[in-house]
Amino acid sequence: MSASAEATVLITHAVGLHARPSVKFTKLAKTFAAEVEVAVAANGPWFDAKSIVKVMAAKAPKGTMLHIRARGDGATQAVKALVDLVQRDFDEDADHARSA
């Protein structure tokens, strides 16, 4: 039976899960073998977290509770790493958030 993990995290970044944050988010997701998905509601729809086109389509602004779930190798680590990234505001300072 393959591993699976799920978590929710509050998006605090000024512009939400958008252009630059989503580049970082999908790049990080792609480093894991596990299948990773995101959603803005607990019951979906779920979007492929490795596709920037899909992640952007989730349209998650600041204040969204982002649901992240993963299945397969490294699922737990993938969810943890992605939650950390969101909690760190995508490693962007306020200056960059302006035009991110």
Partner 1 sequence: MSVGNRVMRIEGIPASPGYAEGPLFDLDQPPVSYKAKASVGEEQAALVSAIGKAVGRLAVLIETADGDAAGILEFHIAMLEDDALRGPALAAIGSGQPADAAWRAALDREIAGYEASDQDYFRARAADLRDIRDQVLRALSEDGEAAAPPGAILHGEDIAPTRFLETDWSKGGGIALQRGSTASHVAMLARSRGVPMIVGLGALAAPPTGDALLDAEHGAIIFSPSPAEVETFRQSASSFADRQGAAKTFLTAPAVTKAGTAVRVQVNIAYPSDVEGIDIETCDGVGLMRTEFLFGKTLPDEETQYHAYRKVLEWAGGKPVTIRTVDAGGDKPVPGFTVEETNPFLGLRGIRLSLKRLDIFRVQIRALLRAAIHGNLRVMFPMIATPDEYGQAAALFAQEQAALVAQDVAHKLPPLGIMVEVPSVALAPEDFADVAFFSIGSNDLTQYVMAAARDNAAVAHLNSVRQPAVLRLIAAVAAFGLEKGIPVSLCGDAGGDPETIPALLAAGLRDLSVAPAQLATAKAAIADVAV
Where in the sequence numbering do the catalytic residues fall?
18
Count CA atoms within 13 Å of residue 43 on its CB side.
0
* Residues 40-69 contacting partner 1, CB under 8 A: 48, 51-54, 56-57, 59, 61
- The contacts found for 44-49 with CB under 8 angstroms, 24 or more apart, are 49/25, 49/82
* Residues 66-85 contacting partner 1, CB under 8 A: none
Q: Smallest distance from the beta carbon of 58 to partner 1, in angstroms?
A: 11
Count CA atoms within 13 Å of residue 37 on its CB side.
14
Cβ–Cβ < 8 Å for 49, 75: no
20 binds partner 1 (CB under 8 A): yes
Q: Which residues bind partner 1 (CB under 8 A)?
A: 15-16, 18-20, 22-23, 26-27, 48, 51-54, 56-57, 59, 61, 95-96, 98-100
